[in-house]
Amino acid sequence: MTELDWHADRTDLSNLVLLDRAPESEGIDLKAVRLYRLQRVREEMEKRAIDALILSCPVNIRYTTGTRNMQVFSARNSPTRYLLVTPDRTILYEFAGCHHLAEGYETINEVRPALTASFAAAGDGVASRERTWATEMWDTIRHAVGQDAVVGMERMNAGASIAMAEFCPRIVDAQEPVEIARSVKSDEEMKCVRASLRATEVAVGRLRDAIRPGMTENELWSVLHQSVIAQNGDYCETRLISSGERTNPWFREAANKVILENELIALDTDVVGCHGYYSDFSRTFHAGPDLPTETQRTLYKTAHEQVQHNVGILHAGMTFREYAEKAWEIPPKYLANRYFVSSHGVGMTGEYPYLYHHEDFPSAGYDGVLMPGMTICVESFTGEEGGQEGVKLEEQVLITEEGTEVLSQFPFEEALLN
C-alpha cells in the first residue's frame, strides 16, 4: 500500500479490519465467531430468565462482542468500560475518547461514553457518581426490557452495585450464564483456539532454544513474551517460569535467579494469544550440558503418566464426579505438592469447569457434565514435599463426540522421558 492509498482508505486502519485480515485470521470467519458467542450469552440469559446483563470484565466483553480496549487496565480500573446486553440490543459504554474502537462490529448496536464510577475518577464525590451511574443505567434498562427486569451484574465496585439495587430489586450474578456460554466452543471458534496455540508453540520453541546456563529466569521468560506479542498475541497472564530449587513447590514466578547447569526449568504458558484465546500448556526443560539425572527423569515420567492417563479418560457425557473417581492416583509422596486442580476449562482465560482431584472433591468439587466443544487443560505438578526440584506438565484438549483431540502440539522432552 502506497502512502497515498494509506490516506485514501482509512477504514483499513480500524481495529476490526486489521484483525480480520491478520495472518492468523486466514480461513476463519470471525464475524461468525462473534455472532455465535453473542448468541450463546443470550441463550443462557433466556434459560435463567435474565432480561439484561451488565458486563464489566474485559474478557467477558470481548467474548460477547469481539471488542477489546486496554484489557489489563480495564480489569484493574473497573468500571471504565462496560456492556449492556438485552435480548435484542447491545450497548457498549466505552472509555473516554475510545468510541471509534467499536466501529464496524456487528455485535454492537450503540456506543455510549462510560461513566467511570470509581474513587480514582470521582474522589469524594464517588457516591454521587455511583448514584448517577445507577440512575442512568436503570433508566436505559427499564425502557428496553421493562420495570420488572431481572438484571445480571458482575465486577462492579460495591457502591455502584448497592446504588443499582435501590432501583432494581431483582439483581442476580452474571457469572453463571457467561461462564456456561463460554464453555462450549463452535467449530469456527476452535480455529481461533488453534491459531493461538500455534503462535504460542512458536514462542515456546524460541524459549527452549534460548536456554543457556548463566541467564536469568527473567531473561528467558522475556523471549516467550516478545515472540507472543510479535505474533499478535495479547499478553502473558502470569510469569510462571522457574528453575532448579525454585520449581518445587510450584507457582514461583520468574525472577532474577540465574539458571545453573543441569537444572530443570518449568514453564506454564498462560498466554492470552491470538484472537484473545488462551494458550495454556506446560512443559519442563533441562538446562544441560549433561544428561538429566535419574531423579529428574522419574519426576518427569511421573508427571507425563498422570497427564496421559487423565487425557485418556475424558469423554463427552462424563460427569465431573466420575472424572475425579477415575483420575490418575497421585503417589503419596507427591500428594502434598499436587496442582490445585486436576483439570480445568479454558477459552479466553482459564474458565469453568474446574475438575478436582479425588482427594479434594469432597471439600471443593461440584458436579456437572463434560460436553462436546469444551476445551480442557489437564494438569500435573510432580514434586516431593521438601524435594529439590519439580516438573510441571499440561496438555490442552478438546472434548469431541468421539473422545478427545489433543490441541497442544509442543513435544515432550525425549531426554527426560527415556
Query: Which three cell numbers mark 341?
Result: 486442580
pLDDT at 14: 64
Residues of the chain with CATH 3.40.350.10: 3-181
pLDDT digits (tens, 9 = 90+) for 79-132: 789 999 999 999 999 988 888 888 889 999 999 999 888 878 888 988 998 999
Residue with cell 470484565: 57
* pLDDT confidence band for 15 (50 / 70 / 90): low
**Which ranges of 26-70 does DSSP label H, i.e. alpha helix?**
30-47, 58-65
DSSP conformational letter for 156: -
Compute CA distances 204 → 112, 266, 269, 403, whole Å.
41, 12, 8, 27
Q: Quick one: cell of 347?
A: 477459552
Homologous superfamily in CATH for domain 184-417: Creatinase/methionine aminopeptidase superfamily (3.90.230.10)
Residue of 333, 326, 332, 354 whose CA lies nearest to 342: 354
Q: Could you give the CA distance from residue 194 to residue 279 in angstroms, rounded to a whole number?
A: 9
The residues, ordered by sequence, that sit 6+ positions from 376 with a Cβ below 8 Å of its Cβ are 314, 343, 344, 345, 346, 355, 370, 396, 397, 398, 399, 404
Cross-strand bridge partners of residue 238: none
Q: At 75, which amino acid appears?
A: A
Per-residue pLDDT tens digits for 343-359: 999 999 999 999 999 99
pLDDT at 9: 46
Domain with CATH 3.90.230.10 in the chain: 184-417
Residue pLDDT, tens place only, 395-405: 999 999 999 99
Convert the pLDDT of each residue in 285-329 to its tens digit. 999 999 999 999 999 999 999 999 999 999 999 999 999 999 999
pLDDT value for 372 = 98
**What CATH code would you report for 3-181?**
3.40.350.10
For the CA atoms of 309, 311, 312, 318, the dihedral, rounded to the nearest 10 degrees, stands at: 120
Tell me what pLDDT residue 12 has.
Answer: 55
Give me the mean pLDDT over the 247-261 stretch: 98
In the chain, % of residues over pLDDT 90: 82
